[in-house]
Amino acid sequence: MAGISSGGSSPPVTVLFVCLGNHCRSPAAHAVAEAMMHGTPARIGDGRFDSAGTGRSHVGDPPHPMAIAEGAHRGYRVGHRSRQIHPDDFANFDLIVAMDRNNVDDLERMRGGVDLRHSCYAAVEPVQVQLLRRWDPYAMPGDEDLPDPWGKTADAYRSMFDVIERCLPPLLDHLAWLRSEHTSTAH
């Protein structure tokens, strides 16, 4: 799991980005989160990130070449070997951020409806599995999914990154809030 740990009073919030294949959307979100965290000194230590897929079809593969290219064009290093979610991930991550409702359904089925987190944040963030577009300031009801660009044109990858870049600053603000709430309730 990549990320930065701070010496603050609360541990970083751990976030796992999940899509179907861990080939396009979740590694892109992972890369953008890492870059935004490193680029904002006030946020350093708020989060640690990883990504995974619900399916096995791309395990061990690098991200899709168009995700790598669009990420590089925007200054992100989308370099991750695809992996499938593991049962331990449900215990080890504070937030699991899914790219679409099908991912949420798969994740809920996999975890069996049981919250297995070993986390100080479970009390402040009672919902572990959430959609990325929860943090999209432009999302409308019924517009919760981040469309899968796999098999589509470069425009689909540009749109994917546009959405991710809109969602990540509010998500990172949310991680900072979780840490502050944990710190205030721990005293």
Q: Catalytic residue positions?
A: 19, 25, 148
Whats the size of the chain, residue-wise? 187
Query: Residues with Cβ < 8 Å from 6, sequence gap 6 or more?
Result: 12, 44, 45, 46
Site of tokens 């541990």: 11
Neighbouring residues of 72: CB distance < 8 A, sequence distance ≥ 6 = 78
* Beta-carbon count within 10 A of 113 CB: 6
Taking each helix axis as running N to C, give the angle between helix 25-39 and helix 65-73, from 0 to 180 degrees, rounded to the nearest 10.
20
The answer to whether residues 148 and 98 touch, using CB atoms and an 8 Å cutoff, is no
Q: How far apart are the first and last CA of the chain?
A: 29
